[in-house]
């Protein structure tokens, strides 16, 4: 670790000590500070109809609230969950609008093992399984739930976990919020949102424009987002809503740099014509209805349309692709709460269907030879599930679940019909867990879950004979976890989890297989580790948060790739063994809040170096950020500084044709602005 990083760590520690709370004045002893948190309830099943206490859930669930998002001003969902144990996000393309998320060692290489939902709608793209975080307006988010580990009722692709996002709607009182901010790299954004009730109806609307020039050459970004939502709650038993969201963006992608260029100029861009443009329209209907005898029914239906344009220039290739995607679907869930043998029991059964059509065309050249492709993809997904949560004793709760998924992929190559193909996948995934609450302040749990990821059409067919691999098998995982949640003192909360995930048939990209590389089922792998979190309030004016995650991700069998022999014990690329973060928030005066945040990420193996033969590693790094805000009546002023030590570091690296390419992160930068909020004006 560099001296600069060591000094930054020392500065953070000294800051924690310095603002750990004012010295007590003479007089009667002050009351013990208390973490004033409401009892946490979480989404226990596929749809939000079934909500239950966290103490009955056999697994960790990390919740980020609307208040935290409002206070910390993250740019996107990955920034909002960046301090969650087990999470690290990195820049793979050279744009801060499009980060990649890693959860417990499952990332987007080559495709993500994390399922992401917005209001019950799966937003993983059907052709690649990737998530375009720029298409999820952060200002609309009410809460984010991160559920690490395989979770059966959420279906395919959730081998690493689930990120469940719930968006805002009109509340009991009217409010309007206006925000504007600006700072380094010509970054500025303006936003507005309004919400409130009108009789039995409620409404919510928002708009945001976010632009910046980027710290790299030719790395401009623009994102425009707008949302409208109408709800109807005539009485407590009925809740209906209809929403529409529109996003339009154009993001220049600076890309990674060869090591020889990086050491000379971290702001350089060797592919200045690369860009990514998205247009999204989404309509979502949601409904919940309480029924007699302890039953309730919930459901959703959606239409999601995206148009995507992408241009990339590599060392030996250039390509331009236009992709149009239409997706429709819905889910229905029936819940029942009653007593069985005089014990509380909650039973849930449900199903979902999703149909997607992807029309994609690409033109370009490779090694000077032109190519053209035009394809049509149909993907149909059907799933049904059941889950039961039963209190064996007042302190002991059993949860059992099972789900079946059926996926059919049809790929039509309109240029070379011989490359067309179809695949069907069917899979049962179970889950079982126990929670034990011997004390009101302590919960211990055990969980076992299975997950799977279907190969995408991009992996199976997209590059034609010789590069695609229609024989790919689904990725399968078995996850074991034990942990605890405790609140030993009124001002102290702790979480601890030990996890082990065995993965079979993991899909990796073998880059040197002619002509363009090939996706293959890699050897078996294992991800195991520990997550620990501490939240404390040593004084009524001070909050402290500390998190640490150890993840040991290794291949567990031998296999031969074009890049070399993968041995038992080789590390999985792009998975840091150590991740730690901490924050201190100090409120010295009413309305004034000061915060200091630090994050450490250890070294990582380069992508495409599964055999671990290259001695170069993505180096460890430490980043220190600070934020200050002051609220007076309806107005809040804020300023935040990122990478205060101006550290030079990289979050992503890849081995390409024997060369090391790295993605530089931004140096020191600031952002300042104000928020004006009006409430209860009618």
- The domain segmentation of the chain, as residue ranges, is 3-19+35-679
**pLDDT digits 0-9 by tens, 521-551:** 987 999 999 999 999 999 999 999 999 999 9
Nearest to 166 by CA among 119, 132, 231: 119
Residue 656, pLDDT score: 86
Helix, strand, coil content of the chain in percent (nearest 5) = 10, 60, 35
**What pLDDT does 21 receive?**
40
Tokens of 649: 């570091």
156, 159, 161, 162: CA torsion to nearest 10: -10
E strand or H helix at 526 = strand 525-539
Strand ranges in 369-491 using DSSP code E only, listed in sequence order: 369-393, 396-413, 421-439, 442-453, 475-489
pLDDT tens per residue, range 367-381: 778 888 899 999 999
In whole angstroms, give the CA distance from residue 610 to residue 212.
Answer: 36
pLDDT of residue 33: 72
Residue 5 pLDDT: 39
Question: pLDDT per residue over 409-460, tens digit each?
Answer: 999 989 888 888 899 999 999 999 999 999 999 999 999 999 999 998 888 8
User: Is 3-19+35-679 CATH 2.40.170.20?
Assistant: yes
Residue 9, both tokens: 């760590």
Structure tokens at 402: 């099972």
What pLDDT shows up at residue 31? 55
Which candidate, 95, 168, 106, places its Cα nearest to that of 133? Answer: 95
Residue owning tokens 């019909």 = 417
Counting as low any pLDDT under 70, the low residues of the chain are 1-32, 34-41, 44, 50, 108-110, 315, 462-467
Distances (CA, A) of 454 to 108, 158, 416, 505, 507: 14, 10, 24, 11, 10
pLDDT tens by residue, 180-189: 999 999 999 9
pTM of the model as a whole:
0.92
pLDDT in the model for residue 24: 39
* The pLDDT of residue 533: 97
* pLDDT given at position 32: 62
Cα–Cα distances in Å, from 607 out to 212, 253, 614, 661?
29, 19, 11, 10
pLDDT for res 365: 84
The set of residues, in sequence order, having a beta carbon less than 8 Å from that of 66 and lying 6+ positions away, is 141, 142, 143, 168
């Amino acid at each position: 670790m560099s001296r600069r990083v060591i000094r930054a760590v020392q500065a953070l520690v000294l800051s924690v000590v310095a603002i750990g709370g004012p010295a007590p004045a003479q007089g009667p002893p002050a009351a013990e500070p208390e973490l004033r948190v409401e009892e946490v309830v979480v989404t226990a099943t596929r749809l939000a109809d079934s909500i239950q206490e966290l103490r009955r859930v056999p697994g960790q669930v990390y919740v980020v609230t609307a208040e935290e998002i409002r206070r910390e001003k993250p740019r996107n969902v990955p920034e909002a969950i960046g301090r969650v144990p087990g999470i690290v996000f990195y820049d793979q393309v050279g744009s801060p609008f499009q980060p990649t998320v890693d959860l417990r060692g499952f990332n987007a290489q080559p495709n993500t093992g994390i399922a992401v939902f917005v209001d019950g709608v799966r937003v993983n793209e059907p052709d690649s399984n990737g998530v375009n975080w720029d298409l999820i307006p952060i200002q609309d988010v009410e809460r984010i739930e991160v559920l690490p580990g395989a979770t059966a009722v959420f279906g395919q692709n959730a081998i690493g976990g689930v990120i469940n996002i719930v968006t805002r709607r009109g509340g009991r009182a009217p409010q309007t919020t206006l925000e504007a901010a600006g700072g380094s790299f010509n970054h500025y954004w303006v936003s507005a949102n309004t919400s409130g009730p009108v009789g039995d109806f409620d409404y919510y609307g928002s708009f945001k424009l976010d632009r910046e020039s980027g710290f790299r050459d030719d790395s401009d970004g623009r994102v425009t987002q707008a949302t409208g939502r109408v709800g109807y709650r005539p009485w407590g038993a009925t809740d209906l809503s209809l929403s529409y969201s529109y996003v339009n963006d154009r993001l220049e992608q600076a890309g990674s740099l060869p090591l020889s260029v990086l050491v000379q100029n971290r702001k350089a861009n060797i592919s200045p014509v690369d860009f990514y443009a998205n247009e999204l329209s989404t309509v979502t209907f949601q409904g919940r209805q309480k029924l007699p005898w302890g039953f309730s029914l919930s459901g959703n239906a959606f239409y999601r349309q995206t148009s995507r344009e992408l241009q990339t220039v590599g060392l030996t290739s250039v390509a331009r692709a236009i992709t149009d995607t239409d997706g429709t679907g819905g889910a229905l869930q029936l819940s029942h709460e009653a007593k069985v043998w005089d014990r509380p029991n909650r039973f849930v059964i449900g199903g979902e269907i999703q149909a997607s059509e992807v029309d994609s065309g690409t033109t370009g050249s490779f090694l000077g030879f032109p190519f053209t492709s035009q394809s049509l993809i149909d993907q149909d997904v059907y799933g049904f599930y059941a889950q039961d949560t039963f209190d064996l004793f007042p302190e002991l709760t059993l949860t059992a679940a099972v789900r079946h998924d059926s996926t059919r992929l049809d790929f039509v190559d309109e240029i070379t019909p011989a490359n067309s193909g179809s695949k069907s996948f069917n899979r049962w995934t179970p889950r079982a867990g126990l929670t034990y609450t011997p004390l009101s302040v302590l919960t211990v749990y055990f969980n076992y879950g299975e997950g799977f990821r279907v190969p995408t059409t991009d992996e199976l067919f997209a590059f034609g004979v010789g590069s695609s691999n229609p024989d790919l098998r689904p990725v399968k995982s078995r996850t074991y976890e034990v942990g605890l949640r405790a609140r030993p003192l009124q001002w102290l909360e702790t979480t601890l989890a030990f996890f082990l995930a065995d993965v079979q048939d993991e899909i990796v990209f073998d880059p040197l297989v002619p002509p363009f590389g090939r996706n293959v089922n890699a050897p078996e792998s294992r991800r195991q580790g520990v997550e620990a979190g501490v939240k404390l309030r040593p004084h009524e004016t001070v909050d402290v948060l500390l998190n640490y995650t150890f993840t040991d991700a290794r291949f567990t069998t031998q296999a031969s790739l074009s890049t070399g022999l993968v041995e038992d014990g080789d590390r999985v690329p792009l998975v840091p063994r150590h991740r730690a973060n901490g924050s201190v928030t100090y409120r010295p005066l009413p309305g004034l809040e000061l915060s200091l945040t630090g994050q450490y990420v250890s070294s990582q193996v380069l992508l495409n170096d599964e055999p671990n033969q290259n001695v170069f590693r993505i180096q460890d790094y430490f980043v220190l950020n600070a934020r200050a805000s002051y609220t007076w009546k309806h107005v809040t002023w804020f300023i935040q500084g990122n990478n205060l030590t101006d550290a030079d570091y990289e979050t992503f690296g890849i081995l390409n044709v024997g060369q090391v390419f790295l993605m530089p992160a931004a140096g020191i930068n600031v952002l300042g602005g104000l928020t004006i909020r009006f409430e209860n004006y009618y």
